[in-house]
Chains A and B, each alone.
Chain A
Amino acid sequence: MDRERHLAETFVELADTLVDDFDVIDFLQGLATRCVELLDVAAAGIVLADQGGSLRTVAASDERARLLELFEVQNDEGPCRDCYQLGAAVVNVNLDGARDRWPHFTPRAIAGGFRSANALPLRLRSQVIGSLNLFHAGIGGLPSAELRMAQALADAATIGILQQRTIRRGEIVTGQLQAALTSRIVIEQAKGILAERLRISTDDAFRVLRTAARSRNRLLSDLAGEVADGSADPVQLLR
């Protein structure tokens, strides 16, 4: 399939997802996966800023702990932090030359097999609520057409976050952000419970959770909530 068609289908699919009752973390995770396919990058992740200005990971193209750590370290420094603070895209940074700029982040990213990085802002009018982070295995980075596409995907992520079912009279962006962040924490807690009960890795636990949610036609966060509060039996999720 040519790329324009793939892109068009991606946006149709994203729009289709934004129905009455959808799961924001599942949506963002799907979007991160699409970034990898469409933009030919090695990994993608989405971070949101909380009320204290800390950046928190809400979704990634894969849930490898090492990749998640690479987003988390950016709470202190890295392309996401810069993007959030500057309110502007940080594009095509060659990591070999970024050791002074980000002394903690850069060696970790290079050890993870990445050579260059991009961070696109999740914009809401004049406010930046988070960032879409793209990692590449090569040093070339993204051509400008791809960067526009990446920004469009970042905008789609913002739309998704603001479309959550929690919209209620008087509630505003803050509530939506808060809901997405809480949802992600519940998923992490559920991953831990599943990993321990089923003797699997936390990465596999995420796959079990997502597969179980899909096969039962349930929202990822609802099922995670039931695992986390003990009302869903982890062993049953494998069936």
Chain B
Amino acid sequence: MVSARMAGIVAGLSRHGPRGLVAVAPGFCAEVLGVTGVAVSVPLAGGSDVVWRTEGASVRLDDLQFTLGQGPGVDAAASGELVLEPDLGTVPAQRWPVFTPAALELGVRAVFAVPLQIGAIRVGVLLAQRDAPGPMDGGALSDMLVFADAATEALLGSVAGSSEPQWLSLQPSGYRAEVHQATGMVSVQLGVTQAEALIRMRAHAFSQRRAVADVAADVVARRMRFEENGD
């Protein structure tokens, strides 16, 4: 279950929409997660860009991964799965032959990478690192995943390159299967990426003061279509 401190961070993040990450102090987030540093990076053509991070080793870690094309964040982004390495000192050399010794050199002993994604929509990676080895305890890992979900919501708008007002991402996508089905349908209707389709659906829901899940239900039941020119 999510801790009270993380619930507070996530609430603040949601209130600020896509600017939410800026409103969250990375150092406080790292403290809540029991790590030394945190960073969020988003994909860019040919690499990635750190959009939010603590000072110090987290910046260098991202530079390293960007330069080398290897490391936990790279693996998490490619696989869409968690990459948890509680002790970099015991990671087999062939896994990240250049990254591991360089990270150890920076004083990093444990790394935890969580992909920021909604199904096939990948918006970035959250990377936490600690200067001492050891696993993340269950509570901290829960916190990290809950934070990852909130950060995903906040980043969706910027990744889609959408022209919609960014605060629209205030409405979470929710857990409903229909939202994900409708995302796929709308992406075909509009000929856009799924990220963009989800944003358009949220924007429409917001303008009609309806829940995203209700709009999605209309799309799936074919009571509503999104058209190229205006909704």
Contacts and interface: CB of A to CB of B under 8 A. Distances in A.
Contact of B183 (A172, A189, A197, A225): A189
Contact of A202 (B85, B118, B220): B220
A230 B50 CA distance: 27
B165 interface: no
Interface in B144-161: 145-146, 149
B145 A54 contact: no
Contact of A56 (B138, B146, B175, B183): B175
A188 B187 CA distance: 13
A238 to B, nearest CB: 16
Interface string B169-201: 000000111101111111111000010000000
Given A65-B220, A182-B80, A228-B120, A54 B175 contact: yes
Among A188, A194, A195, the one with the most B-chain Cβ atoms within 10 Å of its Cβ is: A188
Interface residues on A, range: 35 or more
A172 B117 CA distance: 19
A174 B188 contact: no
Nearest to B147: A51
Q: How large is the interface on B (under 10, 10 to 19, 20 to 34, 35 or more residues)?
A: 35 or more
Interface in A47-85: 50-54, 56-57, 65, 68, 72, 75
Contacts of A52: 2, 146, 149
Interface in B49-99: 79-86
A172 to B, nearest CB: 7
A161 interface: no
A188 B82 contact: no
A67 B138 CA distance: 33
Contacts of A189: 119-121, 180-181, 183-184, 194
Contact of B2 (A51, A75, A197, A229): A51
Given A166-B81, A196-B189, A174 B184 contact: no
A185 to B, nearest CB: 3
B166 interface: no
Contact of B180 (A166, A170, A179, A185): A185
A72 B146 contact: no
A142 interface: no
A65 B121 CA distance: 23
B141 interface: yes
B142 interface: yes
B133 to A, nearest CB: 11
Contacts of A196: 184-185, 188-189
A192 B146 contact: no
A174 B2 CA distance: 13
Given A174-B142, A195-B184, A196-B189, A186 B120 contact: yes
A188 B142 contact: no
B135 interface: yes
A54 to B, nearest CB: 5
B44 interface: no
B145 A174 contact: yes
A122 interface: no
A168 B84 CA distance: 9
Given A51-B146, A51-B149, A228-B120, 16 more contacts: A75-B175, A166-B79, A171-B82, A172-B135, A174-B141, A174-B145, A175-B82, A178-B82, A178-B145, A182-B119, A185-B180, A188-B119, A188-B180, A189-B119, A192-B185, A228-B119
22 contacts: A51-B149, A52-B2, A52-B149, A57-B177, A72-B177, A166-B79, A174-B82, A174-B138, A174-B142, A175-B84, A185-B118, A188-B119, A188-B180, A189-B119, A189-B183, A189-B194, A191-B184, A195-B184, A202-B181, A225-B120, A228-B184, A228-B194
Which 9 pairs, one residue from A and one from B, show the smallest C-beta to C-beta distance? Answer: A192-B184, A185-B119, A228-B120, A188-B180, A196-B188, A192-B181, A193-B184, A51-B145, A196-B185
